[in-house]
Amino acid sequence: MEAGENVRIEDESEAAEVENIVADKESETMALAEVNLLTFGFTEKSSKTDMCLLVEGTKLYVAKLILSLASPVFDTMFQSDFKEKSSDELELPGKKLRDVLEFLRCIYPNTYTQINRDNARIILPLLEEYQVLQLKPRCELVLLETVTEQTTTNELLQLLKEACLYDLKALRARCIVLISSKPCDALDENYCKSFPSANALNEIFVNVNTSMKKRLAELEQVAEENVLFKQYISSEIRNRKKDLKLDPEKRWDDKTIVIIDVIPGDREESEGVDINIWEVPLKINIMNKNSSLYLKVENISKNRAICGLSVLCILVNRQPSGKNHMIVYNGSFPLYAQNRSFEILGTESIEQVGNGYILNGKIGIIAQVYMSKPNK
């Protein structure tokens, strides 16, 4: 590194330090300006004050009686053989003027300061240090009201850290539940920055692990159901293949597709499944038209050709002992046709729970699509 670069870095550091000092001074000035608007001015000595708090070089005049009534810590200072008992000045080293002013506003009866999300987080450390426990539930309540599913992971971790530090049990529980529902990568990125207690982190990881195991079990169950589903239907399709009455003089190829989906809305179609038969791309989907469910076979190739088309479609009864509904279609794809569709069953019949075609809001359709070799 060149000497010039060293000088530039030092200048930048000094500039940042000066900027921080200016910001602190502005904050103090604003705090003092705000306090003058209160019904009780802490910056002016009066007949009602008998103690001076010295914070960041500023004197704040208060009444020992009010501090004693609000805080057992102050009460002990003023009533025991501590030097504060006979002194009329108490320095609060390490405290910020703005924080102490907010704390005083909240405990003084004639300042009418409401606890909100912003000042709750400011005064919580002082409430804990001076054991003003009666205000902690109010702080917790306003923080709880602002915590939602839209709250970021980083913000939740910050709040969780404070909830653990100040024993805010309801806020702690709420944050853990919401953090556990966040994506794992978001948790990985943020938890080191705002490290809450080890017990809280353990609860989060237990929740995440439990949720992942449950999801994995659900996926495994779905996969197993699909395998059994395909095996069962393939067997039925083989048994019903004779119903297709395929012309033996033509060369036939086929594909079997599975569609598990919700019933589309009126005049809408499902996303569908793409297949290739004889190198001809086809899209198979279901559509809702005139209160009936249709299976649609669409030729999405640019090059059209005449070919035979036969479809064996089964609307699966999702109940173990239920009876499937089968439709057979025999036709063709002429040159001018882009798609073929045929009715499966009325949507009213499908949606009736007693008929057994719907499971978890979805229907199951198996279709075996046969196509003869196109005549080019």
3-class SS of residue 364: strand
Whole-model pTM above 0.85?
no
Whether the per-residue pLDDT at 181 is higher than 60: the answer is yes
What are the residue ranges of helices labelled H in the chain?
A: 3-35, 64-70, 72-79, 97-107, 117-129, 136-146, 153-165, 169-180, 184-190, 198-240, 347-351
Largest distance between two CA atoms of the chain: 115
Residue type present at position 368: Q
pLDDT digits (tens, 9 = 90+) for 61-104: 999 999 999 999 998 888 876 665 667 888 999 999 999 999 99
Whether the per-residue pLDDT at 1 is higher than 50: the answer is no
Q: What is the arithmetic mean of pLDDT over 287-294?
A: 94
pLDDT for position 101: 92
pLDDT digits (tens, 9 = 90+) for 243-283: 778 888 889 999 988 888 899 998 999 988 899 999 889 99
Q: What domains can be seen in the chain, in order of their start residue?
A: 24-206 (3.30.710.10), 228-372 (2.60.210.10)
Q: What is the arithmetic mean of pLDDT over 370-376?
A: 84
pLDDT above 90 as % of the chain: 29
CA dist., res. 47 & res. 175, Å (int): 46
- Look-up of token digits 């009866």: 109
Q: Say if CB 295 and CB 286 are below 8 A apart.
A: yes
pLDDT for position 5: 47
Q: Helices then strands (H, E): number in the chain?
A: 11, 11
pLDDT for position 274: 92
Which of 2-11, 43-52, 285-294, 322-331 has the weakest average pLDDT?
2-11
pLDDT for position 319: 79
- The torsion angle over the Cα atoms of residues 193, 196, 199 and 204, rounded to 10 degrees, is -60
Radius of gyration of the chain (CA): 37
Whether the per-residue pLDDT at 233 is higher than 90: the answer is no
pLDDT for position 33: 47
User: What DSSP line would sit under 151-209, residue for residue?
Assistant: S-HHHHHHHHHHHHHTT-HHHHHHHHHHHHTS-HHHHHHHTTTT---HHHHHHHHHHHH
Q: What is the arithmetic mean of pLDDT over 298-312?
A: 84
Local confidence band at 20 (pLDDT 50, 70, 90 cut-offs): low
